[in-house]
Structure 1
Amino acid sequence: MAPRRNQQEGLVGAMDPEAIENHDASVTRCCVPGVECLRGDAPIPLEDLRDVVKVTCNNDHCSAGRYMHRECFDEWEQTVLTYLKSCGRARSWSERQRHQNLWTKKGYDLAFKACGCRCGKGHLKKDLDWVPPPPGFGPKEDDSAKKKKRRNKQNNRPSLAVSAHHNSELRARTGSLSSSNGSSSPPASASSVSPVHSGSFGSSSSSGCGGGGSGSSKMGCCRRDIFFRKIHNSGNGIFSRRQDFSSFNSLPRHKLNSYHIKMEDEGNHGNDDTRCFILSTLAANHTSRVACILCHAPMLVYDRYPLIDGTFFLSPRQHSKSCIETKVEGRTQFLSAVCMGCLEAWAPGRRLRCRYCNTPWDGSSLVLGTMYSYDIFAAMPCCTERLKCNSCQKPLLMPHQRLNFFSDYSHRVACPHCTAQDFHFVKPLPFCYAREWP
């Protein structure tokens, strides 16, 4: 288990021994451990911290310093990544995943032993909340106190125990859908492979939003992220802060884990692209609630994963008036939501059955609290009626054929018979399904 994060941080540079020794409170020294400072121990001016990285030590009485030259940190970080490469489940991660997860709980729990501090009594961790101040901005005691109070409030996240007898079930490990890796519960990402590979139609490339872009370019997401850091860090945003996870108690016990419920960000700085896209889209429409497109029940949207008690998805078709129109890589999409009750089909009237083959639609395998970058109802066609052209009603695929990717069913394609271009596989829900009543 990783050591707890140091919650007591004084003035910038106040605990630095070199500054005290040199009687110069305006500079500090690079605290890189285990390797030589690449700048020959050049002092770091506290009035200009643009080219440094801040770290924290979990030893409350650490006096080794708080800053590293950026190139020193990069060199040291590589040694930690090398160690992480040999640790447990991180062995199966890609280089990108290891780099993304290193300073989050998911990776740091495995790598903290390689992060020993110079003080010899603690472990270092990159301060993901720290933003370099502009040059000449001197630290003030009241500013530091306010920052400390705000940070402590952010770290006061709700307990992951959903109830007294479920303490060990819901772990704080990332779920199945992320911006960097695939899913363990199909379908879970835009590039998830369809169950049957025989035959191919249309593009086999993945849709953009479930991958690294998650619905928009990285630069656009960065602009939105500046806005949302202000909203979330202030605690005064339009989105709710989840106090507990009791709403998931109705799930079967074997689903109370992070494989079925999205729990953590995947971004380097705790700013996941998918979450950023969803919250920025909703904020632009001044809404903090969404409605299930099946039962129309309202759902609160939370500022951290799991974002809702259900799941979001993108569709080229507006299934309900509650679906929010947005642009994804230049294409018009509709941000839609389905509640947990309809996904699990608990109550009478919640289960949907195909009007043609009577097959029930099952959304219980979908990860809760996140977003799919394709239409989840079109992704798994159950009969040939779902494969027909919207214009000439002739089948676009043979009954035994399936597209390579779940996202392919949400793409615009041309009918091989009448050449009409449309989202042929994304049918209106009333056309495909009827509610099952007792």
Structure 2
Amino acid sequence: MAPRRQGAAGALEDSDTRGCCVPSECLRPREPVRFEDAVRVLCNNDTCAAGRYMHRACFEQWEVGVLAYLKSCGRARSWSERQRHQNLWTKKGYDLAFKACGCRCGRGHLKKDLDWAPPGSVARADEEKKRRRRTRPGRTPAAGDGRARAFSLSSSGSCSPPSAPSEPSTSPTHQPQHALTPAKRNSKVEIVSDRIRAGAGANGIFSRRLDFSTFNLLPKHKVNSYQIKIEDEGNHGNDDTRLFILSTLAGQHKPRVTCALCEDTLHVFDRYPLVDGTFFLSPKQHTSGAVEVKVEGRTQYLTCVCMGCLERCDPERTIRCRFCSQKWDGASLVLGTMYSYDIFMATPCCADRLKCNSCYKPLLHPQQRLNYSDYSHPVTCPHCRVLDTHFVKPLTYCFTKRAYPVFQQWP
């Protein structure tokens, strides 16, 4: 291997290092990797020429996707977030997660070099310890940690559509999802130019959202934390819903998803809001892009709808019931998170949507209504006794983009 030397201003220079070797798109493509801000990785392909160093910020983002994948693997499912962090680059965790660590060379897998430390890091660590000892005991840090927070999380409410009351909808992996409330009264959201980073590669790495400018599409009164999910529910970013989505997509090597209605491609982000739209689980695979998952022993499909279709931004995005011509409206749904039921089937508008999938007889009285999530559950038809998710039907059967209802016998 060619010898390494330190170039001007601390940049790394050698024939084996060709800038940042992060498998996804580099966050700082024009900046050289420097010792003081570098993480060294090793590839198990002896002929790999992709490089050995990453910018620390690039490595940390890449590591998020690997951790999300690890959460879905074997015994790691029972580990705490702290244990996954501790075990990831040791044999205990890496043996489970290496498939999410593909190298740019395409023939090997990357692993963090735990034995490498940047030159001078020991001296800096000693200086930091001395500085801390000089700090007066009992001194507390200044209020505020320098992070600009546009929104914060409330501990009440549910992620059900807020347009009508309902019981809280249960997430597939934890307690009911929570709604969002503003961090400060009368706080305003600062929207800047759209600089969302491009999506990552097929190794489970997701984009890092740099601002919220894509939500300029919304009316101003909706740009708030009631309408957009911003922060994790758990401590230190340990949110089961977020990790469930990221681990599911990482396992399928899907850093992007497709809208179920318009088929636009959407980037998936590593923090809330996870997508410029919303995810939901359905017992029916509405599109080929929906990802099959197992939730409490039941087969479900993780599906996405973009913000434009939810908001019906133009007539081309408006869908209507084939039977009564009523428009479907998803504008009340919280963006950037996931619903544990089929959002298209949660508010049936007419009696034709309430028929059995087998004998086509009505399952409910015309005035009878269920909770949002109950329409996605299996029920037994009182007429033919067939057990099925009868209220969940194909989108093409229930909806049309035409202005007038068009009846179509199903299936």
TM-score range, shorter chain: 0.5 to 0.7
Q: Which runs of 5+ in 1 are unaligned?
A: 1-8, 18-60, 65-117, 126-154, 161-170, 195-204, 215-235
* Deviation by residue 1:164-196 (Cα, 9 ceiling, x = unmatched): xxxxxxx32237xxxx7433762599xx727xx
How far off is 1:362 after superposition? 0.3
Q: How does 1:26-425 map to 2 (within 5 A)?
A: 62-64=135-137, 118-119=138-139, 121-122=140-141, 171-174=150-153, 181-183=156-158, 186=161, 193=166, 207-209=170-172, 211-212=174-175, 238-403=205-370, 405-425=371-391
Give the aligned residue type for 1:209.
P
Give the aligned residue type for 1:266.
E
Cα distance in 1 between the residues matched to 2:295 and 2:380: 21
8 Å contact from structure 2 (residues 207, 269) kept in 1: yes
Cα distance in 2 between the residues matched to 1:184 and 1:372: 7
Give the aligned residue type for 2:298.
R
Cα distance in 1 between the residues matched to 2:236 and 2:285: 33
Give the aligned residue type for 2:366.
P
8 Å contact from structure 2 (residues 275, 336) kept in 1: yes
Aligned with 1:429 (options 391, 395, 408): 395
How far off is 1:238 after superposition? 1.2
Give the aligned residue type for 1:323.
A
8 Å contact from structure 1 (residues 314, 333) kept in 2: yes
Report % sequence identity: 57
How far off is 1:62 after superposition? 4.0
**Bigger relative CO (Cα 8 Å, ≥ 6 apart):** 1
> Judging changes above 3 Å, is the alpha-carbon distance between structure 1 residues 210 and 387 closer, same or farther for their aligned structure 2 residues?
farther
Secondary structure of the residue aligned to 2:226 is coil
How many residues were matched structurally?
A: 255
* Deviation by residue 1:365-412 (Cα, 9 ceiling, x = unmatched): 000000000000111110111111001111111011111x21111101
How far off is 1:122 after superposition? 3.5
Cα distance in 1 between the residues matched to 2:269 and 2:327: 30
* Deviation by residue 1:71-117 (Cα, 9 ceiling, x = unmatched): xxxxxxxxxxxxxxxxxxxxxxxxxxxxxxxxxxxxxxxxxxxxxxx
Cα distance in 2 between the residues matched to 1:430 and 1:295: 13
Task: State the 4+ residue runs in structure 1 displaced beyond 2 angstroms.
Answer: 9-17, 61-64, 121-125, 180-189, 205-208, 210-214
Cα distance in 1 between the residues matched to 2:240 and 2:136: 36
8 Å contact from structure 2 (residues 266, 276) kept in 1: yes
Give the aligned residue type for 1:379.
A
TM-score, normalising length from structure 1? 0.53
8 Å contact from structure 2 (residues 320, 403) kept in 1: no
8 Å contact from structure 1 (residues 349, 436) kept in 2: no
How far off is 1:330 after superposition? 1.3
Cα distance in 1 between the residues matched to 2:317 and 2:363: 30
Secondary structure of the residue aligned to 1:361 is coil
Please report the RMSD computed on the Cα atoms of aligned residues, expressed in angstroms. 3.0
TM-score, normalising length from structure 2? 0.57
How far off is 1:299 after superposition? 0.1
Secondary structure of the residue aligned to 1:238 is coil
8 Å contact from structure 2 (residues 268, 274) kept in 1: yes
> Judging changes above 3 Å, is the alpha-carbon distance between structure 1 residues 316 and 188 closer, same or farther for their aligned structure 2 residues?
farther
Cα distance in 1 between the residues matched to 2:363 and 2:159: 30
How far off is 1:329 after superposition? 1.2
> Judging changes above 3 Å, is the alpha-carbon distance between structure 1 residues 245 and 156 closer, same or farther for their aligned structure 2 residues?
farther
Q: Which runs of 5+ in 2 are unaligned?
A: 1-123, 178-202, 405-411
Cα distance in 1 between the residues matched to 2:160 and 2:282: 20
> Judging changes above 3 Å, is the alpha-carbon distance between structure 1 residues 432 and 206 closer, same or farther for their aligned structure 2 residues?
same
* Deviation by residue 1:246-286 (Cα, 9 ceiling, x = unmatched): 11111100001010000000112212111000000000000
Cα distance in 2 between the residues matched to 1:293 and 1:208: 21
8 Å contact from structure 2 (residues 346, 373) kept in 1: yes
> Judging changes above 3 Å, is the alpha-carbon distance between structure 1 residues 156 and 386 closer, same or farther for their aligned structure 2 residues?
farther
> Judging changes above 3 Å, is the alpha-carbon distance between structure 1 residues 292 and 184 closer, same or farther for their aligned structure 2 residues?
closer
How far off is 1:209 after superposition? 1.6
